[in-house]
Amino acid sequence: MSMSGDAIGLLLLEDSDIDAELIAHQLAKLGRHVEVDRAAVRGEFQQRLAQRRYDAILSDYSLPDFAGIEALQVARAAQPDVPFIFVSGVLGEERATEALRAGATDYVTKRDLGRLPMVTERALREALERRLGQRAMQALRESEERFRNMADSAPALIWSVGPDGTMTFANRRFETELGVPSARMLREGWAALLHEDDWPAFAEKRRAAIAAREVFADEMRVRCASGEVRWLKCQSSPRHDDAGRFLGYTGCAVDITEARVTKHVLEVEVLKRTEELRDKDEALRQSQKMEAIGQLTGGIAHDFNNMLAGILGGAELIQRRLAEGRFEDCERYLDAVVMSAKRAAGLTQRLLAFSRRQTLNVRGSDINALVASLEDLLHRTIGSSIQLTITFDHDLWPASTDANQLESALLNLAINARDAMPDGGRLVIATRNLSIGPSEAAPGLKPGEYVAVDVVDDGAGMSADVKAKVFDPFFTTKPLGQGTGLGLSMIYGFMAQTEGQIRLTSELGEGTTVTLLLPRAGGVTDHEAPRTPAHVTSGKGSILLVEDEPAVRMLIIDHLREAGYRVLATDGAIAALALLEEERVDLLLTDVGLPGMNGGELARRARMLHPELRVLFATGYAGDTANRPDLAGDGTDLIVKPFDLPQLSERLRALLDHVIE
């Protein structure tokens, strides 16, 4: 049963037809659809309980073939969590007290049936709150268990500390790699491992980082339980709650002992034997090897730190809410935990794809149908400034591939093409049959029949240096934090694992062509379409928010309501216009880049319904407002994402203060 408006299922145990009718009349006042099943005798009551689960049970105290207390016992045995309310004409104070002690939720006398809707509503609400609390606790336990399993399986040391530097979590790798149990790490912190000579410098650097709330990074010596000295490369990031309070750090470390030793050995060898070419070549190869290791470990540490911050932060906030007996916002924090865990799982999948160890569902697929099903998603991904053209070979062979992985690869290539065309351009996706003979086969590709999928853009293209590294893991030309560098390496591994191949040609200023070669399959399996999975200032007035990004919509709604505004919200223009036909609001706050009808067209149509409507546009790309007269004018303003909430409040007040008295 949902308290948001679904049908309510009630079971009424009453032998009097007249009383049953009067009770049903009162229950109809709950304001929602009520389905009432009735039983008059014990056997019928037990049969009803066995057939269906109810949201609440209402029972007379005096029954023809058994007592009300017995009915309560039968109900508790069959459906223990369902509210049980006595409705009786013979229920005095003594019996009412007895009924409540026996486990009844509440009671109403038949002389005072007007209380029944209120008592029933309260019982339903309290039951729902109990279920939500139980679910939140279960979700917290599951999320904590998932995090521990993921952290214990990660190829690195993972930990977290509180705001005072006290360690609150240490994964199993501390024991398996360094011989120090997690329990000891929690008791002693880094003092259990850190080399005694390095402790003063480490403690001062950590103190300064905590005071400044800055990222902490260091290379430090540790002493294993065996006495062996090792070197760790550590990095940790500060965590904050939703109010901006500092919660501590989440960190990751990898063993770089071999790198440190090798570096020292190489320095000695270079100084002593620079005249020997063989030693020079060996030093160069070793240096390149260490650079690759550093790039790999740094990329994993950066991404895992971000994901673990979301998981630990969300779990700690939920734990705090539950400890205080509050349940508000727990679902949002759970969503953040799940999202971060899924991102971590996605990173693992990309690493497995690169290493050719992921589990694939390879079968015959209709590639034309697969590409066609992605067309809408591709349009939304690349934006309106890029023209998308898709051409099909209508005699295309079926291909042997993992459809889900191929969809992900095509979307990744489309995103890369979009980023290479910041000022707009053209993206072409084409399918064709291709036969490769022995003389045309390249290393890693057998001669045979293939389905080719070409992804062609006329963007910036690549230099020779970039092309040489483009399939390396964690190599990216994007700014830090805007790409993992695993996209093309993932596709490379996926194609190799399915006995296909990825080919890339590109020149600076001439665009890029990426061709995916998929082995021909003997049959076709129907293709499934992809599943499109601060400071608060006071305000007054009513606002209609139109935002298609759920997380952004949730945050803005909470902020506006806390500021005192009446808020209506929807995720699209059509739904917004339907609301405006029924509701009058003072201001429309809409994203410019909505799917389907954009924000400018929505505002124009909204003002046909309400000419005095104020409009505040929000956009994530300032360039899309150029030469757009529909985004300007009296009573209109524009704010660029990302914006802070006080800035949003100021813009709203500027538009509303002179029209809301």
Look up the CATH number of the domain holding residue 263: 3.30.450.20
Q: Which residues of 368-404 are buried (b: 16+ CB within 10 A; e: fewer)?
A: bbbbebbeebbeebbeeebebeeeeeeebbbbbbbbe
Residue with more model confidence, 382 or 154: 382
State the Rg of the chain over Cα: 32
Could you tell me if 433 and 399 lie in one domain? yes
Length of the chain: 661
Q: Per mean pLDDT, which range of 209-223, 293-307, 621-635 is the poorest?
A: 293-307
DSSP character string of 58-116: EE-SS-SSS-HHHHHHHHHHH-TTS-EEEEESS--HHHHHHHHHTT--EEEEGGGGGGH
Confidence (pLDDT) at 38 = 93
pLDDT at 45 over 90: yes
Q: Which residue is listed with tokens 């998308």?
A: 388
Residue 245 and residue 239 in contact, taking contact as beta carbons nearer than 8 Å: no
Nearest to 7 by CA among 44, 29, 35, 46: 35
Backbone angles phi, psi at 649, to 5 degrees: -60, -40
> Do the domain assignments include residue 85?
yes
Confidence (pLDDT) at 66 = 86
Q: Per mean pLDDT, which range of 92-96, 383-387, 398-402, 415-419 is the poorest?
A: 92-96
> Do the domain assignments include residue 138?
no
Please write the tens of the pLDDT for every residue from 586-602: 999 999 888 888 899 99
Confidence (pLDDT) at 356 = 44
Could you tell me if 507 and 551 lie in one domain? no
Confidence (pLDDT) at 589 = 95
Q: Per mean pLDDT, which range of 168-177, 225-234, 470-479 is the poorest?
A: 470-479
Please write the tens of the pLDDT for every residue from 281-296: 565 555 544 454 455 5
> Do the domain assignments include residue 559?
yes
**Which range, 107-111, 286-290, 433-437, has the best average confidence (pLDDT)?**
433-437
Q: Which residue is listed with tokens 């929000």?
A: 618
Could you tell me if 495 and 640 lie in one domain? no
- Out of 487, 519, 551, a domain closes at 519
Could you tell me if 503 and 570 lie in one domain? no
Average pLDDT over residues 579-584: 91
- Out of 485, 519, 553, a domain closes at 519
Confidence (pLDDT) at 307 = 57
Helix (H) or strand (E) holding 546: strand 542-546
Nearest to 217 by CA among 209, 227, 228: 209
Could you tell me if 164 and 70 lie in one domain? no
Residue 172 and residue 153 in contact, taking contact as beta carbons nearer than 8 Å: no
Assign residue 558 the CATH number of its domain: 3.40.50.2300
pLDDT at 491 over 70: yes
> Cα separation of 540 and 32, whole Å?
31
Could you tell me if 174 and 121 lie in one domain? no
Residue 162 and residue 248 in contact, taking contact as beta carbons nearer than 8 Å: yes
Query: Would you place residue 425 in the very low, low, confident or very high pLDDT band (cuts 50, 70, 90)?
Result: very high
Could you tell me if 462 and 492 lie in one domain? yes
What 3-state class would DSSP assign to 548?
Answer: coil
Confidence (pLDDT) at 433 = 94
Residue with more model confidence, 422 or 477: 422
Q: Which residue is listed with tokens 């969503």?
A: 335
pLDDT at 482 over 50: no
Q: Which residue is listed with tokens 């070197």?
A: 231
Assign residue 413 the CATH number of its domain: 3.30.565.10
Confidence (pLDDT) at 481 = 44
Query: Would you place residue 310 in the very low, low, confident or very high pLDDT band (cuts 50, 70, 90)?
Result: low
Average pLDDT over residues 493-521: 88
Could you tell me if 376 and 336 lie in one domain? no
Q: Report the DSSP pairing between strands 216-223 and 229-240.
A: antiparallel
Determine the structural domain holding residue 554 and report its residue range.
542-656
- Out of 98, 132, 166, a domain closes at 132
Percent of the chain with pLDDT over 90: 22
> Do the domain assignments include residue 202?
yes
Could you tell me if 189 and 96 lie in one domain? no
Confidence (pLDDT) at 286 = 54
> Do the domain assignments include residue 308?
yes
Confidence (pLDDT) at 543 = 94
> Do the domain assignments include residue 2?
no
Could you tell me if 44 and 175 lie in one domain? no
Residue with more model confidence, 399 or 326: 399
What 3-state class would DSSP assign to 76?
Answer: helix
Please write the tens of the pLDDT for every residue from 448-478: 999 999 999 998 888 888 877 777 765 666 5
Instruction: Write down the pTM of the prediction.
Output: 0.33
Q: What's the whole-number average pLDDT of the chain?
A: 80
Could you tell me if 250 and 220 lie in one domain? yes
> Do the domain assignments include residue 524?
no
pLDDT at 151 over 80: no
Q: Report the DSSP pairing between strands 542-546 and 587-591.
A: parallel
Percent of the chain with pLDDT over 70: 78
Confidence (pLDDT) at 285 = 53
Confidence (pLDDT) at 575 = 93
Could you tell me if 257 and 116 lie in one domain? no
> Do the domain assignments include residue 530?
no
Q: How many domains does the chain have?
A: 4
Exposed (0-12), middle (13-18) or buried (19+): which is 226, by Cβ within 10 Å?
Answer: exposed
